[in-house]
Amino acid sequence: MDNNKIVVFDTTLRDGEQSPGCSMNTEEKIKVAKQLEKLGVDVIEAGFAAASPGDFDAVSRIAEQVEKSSICSLSRAVENDIKQAALAVQKAKMHRIHTFIATSPIHMKYKLKMSEEEVIKRAVYAVEYARTFVDDVEFSLEDAGRSEISFMKEVMDAVIAAGATTINLPDTVGYRLPTELGAMVKELSDFAANRAIISVHNHNDLGLATANTLAAVTNGARQIEVTMNGLGERAGNSALEESVMAIKTRRDAFKDLYTNINTKEIYATSRLVATITGVEPQQNKAIVGKNAFAHESGIHQDGVLKHQETYEIMRPEDVGVIKDSTLILGKHSGRAAFKDKITNLGFDTVTSEELNSAFEKFKILADKKKEVTDDDIRMLITDESLNQDKIYELVGLQISDCSNGVPTAAVSIKHNDEILIDANIGNGTMDAIFKTIDRLTGYSGELQSYNVISVTEGKDALAKVTTRVLFDESSPSFVGHGLSVDTMLATANAYVSALNSYLSQKERLAKNSEHQV
């Protein structure tokens, strides 16, 4: 074991997806997983296989398609959970089962209603059972931040003897200060010695998740559990980009410690996760925020122009932030120039079909904008890759919303090579659009959230619309994506996209239902 390597365990697809409004469908999870693999993540926690048929489907399909990262599924210390996790990850080239049970007095008393002896017995059985399926088993002492050191040592001894290879010490409620967490990790890391890798999973309830993660690393932790953009339950988790770049930038403090992360893929990964979830990082978010490398102060601008390191401790290009290149695209640009541009922007796995479709959308956009920016191109390619399941495809939209009239929407949709056309009125323009689409498709959706952002600046900026729509009370809501200089057209596309996501997931789960026990 290389004691200088920090294993990066990404849980964007599991804990990150538990952020309110951040759930993803299977195809979206696969795209994120492939980008995490490209980023160089060691372990991808692809989901909680036993939680739902959708989670099982996502974990199993990711396991089939990702080759360079180990694929992990979370499970409670319950036999069926562990079995479902094993079935879901079984086709992965490298796989792990991550099982857990709470060890804090408050959790054992009020949640589990179990004694310490019962918790240890359950933990040991879970690890032993998981080892019948995989060699790589991670065990988490849930709420370790509020657990007693002496009891955690008992649990660790027992589960390591049972075959656990990684011991995770989560600060489940984000309670600990860096000095406290560092001391806890130091004592338990020394106790584990070389018997297992010590991991940490820190929540950000007090804004200390990354600080706690780094304190743990300097005190012996050799795995960090993180998410892109700091997504996660409540206030989120330690952000991958923050912990990784801190270790890389402050080599003086972290000595010979390193990660396998290709940091030039950080920005692309951040943008993909934000686009899919519709949750944008705050503008002043470290590393990936819009203002992370912006300098407005005259003094700062002058300093950066004279010498970059006066006010920048990292180069933007180190994390994949590339300023718009000198190759400006417009309506006269050809396919070759467009392909060269997207390759330079890091989209080297785009299929011919995606390229052709994105190029056609680019030409339409170029007719409406004087200059198409790199951010426009990034969004076009990402949007195209997210909207491949085109069971229904928006062909045309005409709206009427005069102040003294009734909001009306006329919509044409393509389905099974047939063009369907209808019109309807509503309480507003958006309501009229949705009601018309519902009548055309036969599905009625309930809008749960709506978000619109400007991709670039100016009156001709692309509008990126993200909708979350519920079509079936028995299934989760689905995210849809729409992109256009016309906000209402983007809105209609986003609603249709959510419907397509729901229908494709429904068909796939019906086919895979026999996998569930």
- What single letter denotes the amino acid at residue 64? E
The residue-averaged pLDDT of 447-458 equals 86
Query: 125-134, 398-407, 467-476: lowest mean pLDDT where?
Result: 398-407
The Cα–Cα gap between 133 and 131 comes to 5
Q: Where are the alpha helices (DSSP H) in 258-403?
A: 266-277, 298-306, 335-344, 352-368, 374-386
Place of tokens 């309930």: 446
Residue 514 reports pLDDT greater than 50: no
Q: Bridge-partner residues for 424, per DSSP?
A: 409
Lowest mean pLDDT among 47-51, 156-160, 236-240, 336-340: 336-340
pLDDT 10s digits, 391-440? 999 999 999 876 667 899 999 999 999 999 999 999 999 999 999 999 99
Nearest-angstrom CA–CA distance, 348 and 345: 8
Looking up tokens 């589990």 gives 112
pTM for the model: 0.87
Which residue in the block uniquely carries the two structure tokens 């980023």?
A: 39
pLDDT of residue 85: 98
Are 481 and 465 a contacting pair, CB within 8 Å? yes
* Average pLDDT estimate for 361-366: 85
Q: Domain 7-277: which CATH class?
A: alpha beta
pLDDT at 311 over 60: no
User: Is the confidence at residue 98, as pLDDT, over 50?
Assistant: yes
| Cβ atoms within 10 Å of 296's Cβ, excluding its own | 7
- Phi and psi (nearest 5°) for 139? -120, 130
- Considering only CA atoms, which of 19, 3, 9 is closest in space to residue 40? 9
User: Is the pLDDT score of 480 beyond 70?
Assistant: yes
Q: What percent of the chain has pLDDT over 90?
A: 66
Of 487 and 365, the structure prediction assigns the larger pLDDT to 487
Cβ atoms of 43 and 70 closer than 8 Å: yes
Residue 120 CA to residue 124 CA, distance in Å, equals 6
pLDDT digits (tens, 9 = 90+) for 183-219: 999 999 999 999 999 999 999 999 999 999 999 999 9
The pLDDT of residue 342 is 83
The C-alpha atoms of residue 182 and residue 172 are separated, in whole angstroms, by 15
Tokens at residue 105, please?
């007095």
How is residue 231 annotated by DSSP? -
Q: What is the mean pLDDT of the chain?
A: 89
Residue 325 has pLDDT above 70, yes or no: no
Question: Secondary structure of 115-179 in the HEC alphabet?
Answer: CHHHHHHHHHHHHHHHHCCCCCEEEEEECHHHCCHHHHHHHHHHHHHHCCCEEEEEECCCCCCHH
Closest CA to 126 of 166, 77, 159: 77
Mean pLDDT of 464-475: 88
Residue 231 is predicted with a pLDDT of 96
Q: What is the mean pLDDT of residues 141-167?
A: 98
Distances (CA, A) of 165 to 11, 14, 101: 18, 21, 16
Does residue 310 carry a pLDDT above 70? no
Pairing of strands 166-171, 137-142: parallel
* pLDDT(299) > 50: no
Residue 364 near residue 315 (C-beta atoms within 8 A): no
Neighbouring residues of 43: CB distance < 8 A, sequence distance ≥ 6 = 7, 8, 9, 10, 69, 70, 71, 72, 96, 223
457 pLDDT above the threshold of 80? no
Structure tokens at 497: 């996209």
Q: Which carries the bigger pLDDT value, residue 106 or residue 298?
A: 106
**Tokens for 30?**
């696969």
393-511 and 7-277 share a CATH fold: no
Work out the average pLDDT over 469-497: 90
Alpha helices, DSSP H only, in 40-93? 53-65, 79-89
Could you give the residue ranges of the DSSP H alpha helices within 369-455? 374-386, 429-441
User: Would you kindly state where each structural domain of the chain is located, as residue ranges?
Assistant: 7-277, 297-321, 335-386, 393-511
Looking at the predicted structure, is the pLDDT value of residue 297 above 50? no
From residue 128, how far is each of 82, 135, 151, 505 by CA, in Å?
Answer: 11, 10, 20, 34
Is residue 53 within 8 A of residue 512, CB to CB? The reply is yes
Please report the pLDDT score of residue 300 as a whole number.
Answer: 40
Sheet of 418-425: strand order equals 393-400, 408-415, 418-425
Each residue's pLDDT tens digit, 31-51:
999 999 999 999 999 999 999
Tens of pLDDT along 210-258?
Answer: 999 999 999 999 999 999 999 999 999 999 999 999 999 999 999 999 9
**Spatial contact of 82 and 53, defined as CB atoms under 8 Å apart:** no
Amino acid at 266: I
- Rg from Cα positions in the chain: 24
Q: What mean pLDDT comes out for the span 168-179?
A: 97
Position 28 scores a pLDDT of 87
The answer to whether residue 445 scores a pLDDT higher than 70 is yes
Higher pLDDT, 430 or 383: 430
Helix (H, G, I), strand (E, B) or coil at 386: helix
Dist. CA 210–CA 171, nearest whole Å: 12
Average pLDDT over residues 73-78: 98
Task: Report the pLDDT averaged over residues 456-478.
Answer: 85
Q: Say yes or no to pLDDT of 368 above 50.
A: yes
In degrees and rounded to multiples of 5, residue 228 shows phi and psi of -70, 140
- What's the CATH architecture for 393-511? 2-Layer Sandwich (3.30)
d(C-alpha 218, C-alpha 185), whole Å: 9
Q: What does the DSSP 8-state code read for residue 389? A: -
